Amino acid sequence: MEVARFAKQVGISALGALLLSLSSGHAVAQDHDHMLMSQAPQTAEQKKQANELVATVREVTERYKDVSQVGTDFSLAFGCVSGGDYGAMGLHYVNMNRVGDGLIDARAPEILLYEPTANGGVRLTGADYLVLAADWNKNHAHAPELNGQLFHFFDAPNRFGLPPFYTLHVWAWKDNPLGTFTNWNPTVSCDGFNGATQ
């Protein structure tokens, strides 16, 4: 799948417009620092839930280690997302059928995360769960969480051109020294990104 092909089909601004059209209203819930968040110490039960979530992500994404298996279900969006001093998020392959439904399901992540490699390929690093704030806030009085992990809030405007949204990164396939559920990973780099994927 090539970035150019996806950009022609959808376009980054069109993706933002599509997601904006799926939402209504404004986010009312709490805001989280999305630049650099490390995890607080966890109880034994929290560690158990976190480990279960990582195991689930590995189970449901293992087949996508080979990026050719994403088929038409996931499309590359946003290029390679880098945070400068914070590291990077990498490549986001988005499943548009799951975005905008207002649901969170550990077995159905909205986004697959990849890191570009020096040889022009990509390596699966984890998954990202995303729910539009307007969709979530219609039926909930609190920010979403999954297996005890609180989602991070991104307000608008943002670098993705999306309406306000909640997100939870799970670095299931690549260690993150800042924590398994932080947004940025200092060990991920966009240096190998050449505008195409294999």
- The pLDDT tens digits for 107-164 are 999 999 999 998 889 999 999 999 999 999 999 999 999 999 999 999 999 988 889 9
pLDDT score, position 126: 98
- Cα-flanking dihedrals φ and ψ of residue 133, to 5°? -60, -40
Model pLDDT, residue 104: 95
Which of 11-20, 54-63, 69-78, 79-88 has the weakest average pLDDT? 11-20
And the tokens for 148?
């005890």
> Which residue from 109, 120, 121, 107 is spatially nearest to 66, judged by alpha carbons?
121
Q: In what order do the strands lie in the sheet with 111-116?
A: 75-82, 88-94, 111-116, 122-132, 165-170, 152-154
pTM attached to this predicted model: 0.80
> Which DSSP letter does residue 196 get?
B
What are the tens digits of pLDDT across the range 5-51? 333 333 333 344 333 333 333 322 323 344 444 456 778 998 999 99
In sequence order, which residues have a C-beta less than 8 Å from that of residue 29 and are 6 or more positions away? 133, 136, 137, 140, 141, 142, 143, 153, 166
List the domain boundaries for the chain: 3-170
